[in-house]
Amino acid sequence: MSDLIRLRNLTVTYERHPAVHHISGGFAAGSLTAIAGPNGAGKSTLLKAIVGELRPAEGSIDRGALARNDFGYLPQAADIVRRFPISVADTVMLGAWKSAGAFGRFSRKDAERARDALDVVGLSGFENRHIGSLSAGQFQRVLFARLLLQDARVILLDEPFTAIDQRTTRDLLDLVLRWNREGRTVITVLHDFEQVRAHFPETLLLARELVGWGKTREVMSPANLVKARAMAERWDEAAEECLTEDEQDNRNVAKREPAE
């Protein structure tokens, strides 16, 4: 298999603070990869860089002939606003903007496809419900229906099963595996190692730097997991010393105050 997406010495920073450093490697066309690593490891940052929401500070991402709308991206739940007064059906049809065009209208065909997609995720009859009225699991099903409609070649999911009930997780995981069987390239951030080992042939283990990237069995070794954790502990400790100027001032004031 040839690489569909290649990372070359990729570094992504927030205001010059690197969140992921010097990542090199490739996602093969049609591969199914889990991204694993401790909190703050840079997993979400890496996905955002791959879809083009963040630009590399150093290095590059080679996406070959892929265009922006070849990527179907589901951000982490915390990044998704659910307060828009919009119905389930309209939310799903937003996945069809590729065919509708930026100012286009949704066709009757899009509405039919949206209904079919809702049927696949088990939400027939929910078309007119306000998205704010759904449970977390139901809302995640809606977002998967939208991805179905989008029909992208590359699908990136950021912790799609966090805080989602078991039944929904099982149903949506089946959909992820089906997408991969259809030949799509799937990259999913996951924190459940059992899920990773059971279903994902490839793993990218990240702790700001690459700990390992390749066959899941080899990458998710006890030694690598210990290493990833040790790296995370190092940056937790370092965070103590990285106070902003205001924080340092506050701390100095606190120190100077006499304990009477």
What letter would DSSP give residue 201? S
Shortest CB 44 distance to Mg ion, Å = 3
| Residue placing its CB nearer to ligand ADP in the complex, 22 or 98 | 22
Task: Kindly give, in sequence order, each residue whose CB lies less than 8 Å from that of residue 114, ignoring residues fewer than 6 positions away.
Answer: 89, 92, 93, 95, 96, 127, 145, 149
Minimum Å gap between C-beta 159 and Mg ion is 6
Compute how many residues bind Mg ion; rule: CB under 5 A. Answer: 2
Per CB under 6 A, residues contacting ligand ADP are: 14, 19, 37, 39-45
Closer Cβ to Mg ion, 154 or 157, answer by number: 157
* Interacting span for Mg ion (CB under 5 A) from 35-43, 94-102, 141-149, 234-242: 35-43
Contact (Cβ atoms closer than 8 angstroms) between residue 45 and residue 54: yes
92 vs 140, beta carbon nearer Mg ion: 140
**Beta strand segments in the chain, E:** 3-14, 17-28, 32-36, 58-62, 71-74, 154-158, 185-189, 202-207, 209-215
- Shortest distance in whole angstroms from residue 163 CB to ligand ADP: 15
CB of 208 to ligand ADP, least distance (A): 7
| Integer Cα distance of 37 and 226 in angstroms | 11
For 135, half-sphere exposure in the C-beta direction (CA atoms, 13 angstrom radius) is: 7
Of the pair 29, 136, the CB lying nearest Mg ion is at 136
Closest distance of CB 143 from ligand ADP, Å: 18
CB nearer to ligand ADP: pick between 30 and 40: 40
The span from the CA of 215 to the CA of 209, in Å, is 18
Closer CB to Mg ion, residue 20 or residue 89?
20
User: What, of Mg ion, ligand ADP, none, does residue 31 touch, CB below 5 to 8 Å by kind?
Assistant: none
Among 44, 180, 188, 216, binds Mg ion (CB under 5 A): 44
CA distance 52 to 49: 5
Residue 71 CB, nearest approach to Mg ion (Å)? 17
Q: What's the Cα-to-Cα distance from 160 to each of 59, 175, 232, rounded to whole Å?
A: 28, 12, 23
Residue 84 binds what, of ligand ADP, Mg ion, none (CB under 5 to 8 Å, by partner type)? none
Q: What SS3 state is found at 75? A: coil
Could you list the residues that contact Mg ion (CB under 5 A)? 43-44
